Amino acid sequence: MEILKKGVLSTFQDLGRFGYQSVGVNIGGAMDTLSLKLLNIVLGNYENEAALEIHFPCPHFQFEESCIFAITGADFNANLNGKLLRNNKIYHAESGDNLVFRFKNKGERLYIGVKGGFNIREWLSSKSTNTQLNFPSFSEKIVLKNNDEVDKHEPNYGVAFAHDYSNRCIRFVPSFEFDELDEDSKSNLLNSEFLISKDSNRMGYRLSGVPLTLVENKEMISSSVTKGTIQLLPDGQLIILMADAQVSGGYPKLGFVIENDISKLSQFGSQSKIEFKKISYENAIEIMLETQKYFDLIQKTLKFREKEN
């Protein structure tokens, strides 16, 4: 694939770089992990295969060889040689075909993957771009991993899956420090709207809303943090750590957003309003297992359709 026109903030992402937080290397990975997992299921790839995470305005791609590809995540009105494409469906591209994205319809991040994956160098067991080091970098030439001749028959199957953008509820499991909020702040956290500020990025989503306060202000010892951690800042505002979050922090941790809703949150842009809902650890596990069951069902259904074709 060749990049004929660059977009903004295009990176390679898999599910993240785990096991190196003790030496200060953050996890990184896709902001919307559910869309990435779905992409690889649709393509028949390994779950952790890297894809391109792109933002609008998007790059203009030209394929230099035949391949099977798919897109998931945001809806940016994708077109292949003028033909409108659907998310979560696989397509066949020939050498010389052009893939463009005309306008932003819904969401903030779109994922492009190819069957067999991209030929990207691993660093510390992951292909995710570390945005601090800009490695692996996103260049004007993207090499596919599998250069074998692909089947010219265009697949005609896909799946129905999309985040519910109308549901602004973000579910979280409270931490011990949630109980250190005063009663008014607990009520405000669970019954108020919060606005995603313009000062938000892959490291964290800063929120603006009713300031929250602790029963007792005290110095906190820095401890580990990760994607989904809700921190209370000194000014009483909140930040939700995202994919490129640091590995430790000293602000109070009020809770941890569940994976489903971190993925949904990653598709909300600045000035979007969200609400919080506190759930139990047991409920969070149930949601995770139900999601995995649903993805397993999609995978089995696609394999069955492939056999029929």
Going through 66-159 in order, the beta strands assigned E by DSSP cover: 67-75, 78-80, 83-84, 90-93, 98-101, 106-114
pTM: 0.92
Average per-residue pLDDT for the chain = 89
pLDDT of residue 278: 97
Q: Which residues contact 82 (CB under 8 A, 6 or more apart)?
A: none
Residues above pLDDT 90, as percent of the chain: 70
pLDDT of residue 244: 93
The tens digit of pLDDT for each residue in 276-299 reads 999 999 999 999 999 999 999 988
The tens digit of pLDDT for each residue in 28-38 reads 999 999 999 99
Q: How far apart are CA 66 and CA 47, in angstroms?
A: 23
Q: How far apart are CA 152 and CA 94, in angstroms?
A: 9
Match 């010219």 to its residue by tokens. 152
Residues of the chain with pLDDT under 50: none
Match 């409270």 to its residue by tokens. 174
Of 144, 58, 54, the C-alpha closest to 100 is 58
Q: How far apart are CA 177 and CA 223, in angstroms?
A: 13
Domains recognised in the chain with CATH numbers = 1-162 (no CATH), 169-278 (2.40.100.10)
Residue 52 φ/ψ, nearest 5 degrees:
-90, 125
Q: How far apart are CA 218 and CA 264, in angstroms?
A: 33
Distances from the Cα of 86 to the Cα of 106, 118, 162, angstroms? 13, 21, 11
Q: How far apart are CA 182 and CA 89, in angstroms?
A: 49
Q: Which two tokens stand for residue 308?
A: 């029929």
Match 């990176």 to its residue by tokens. 11
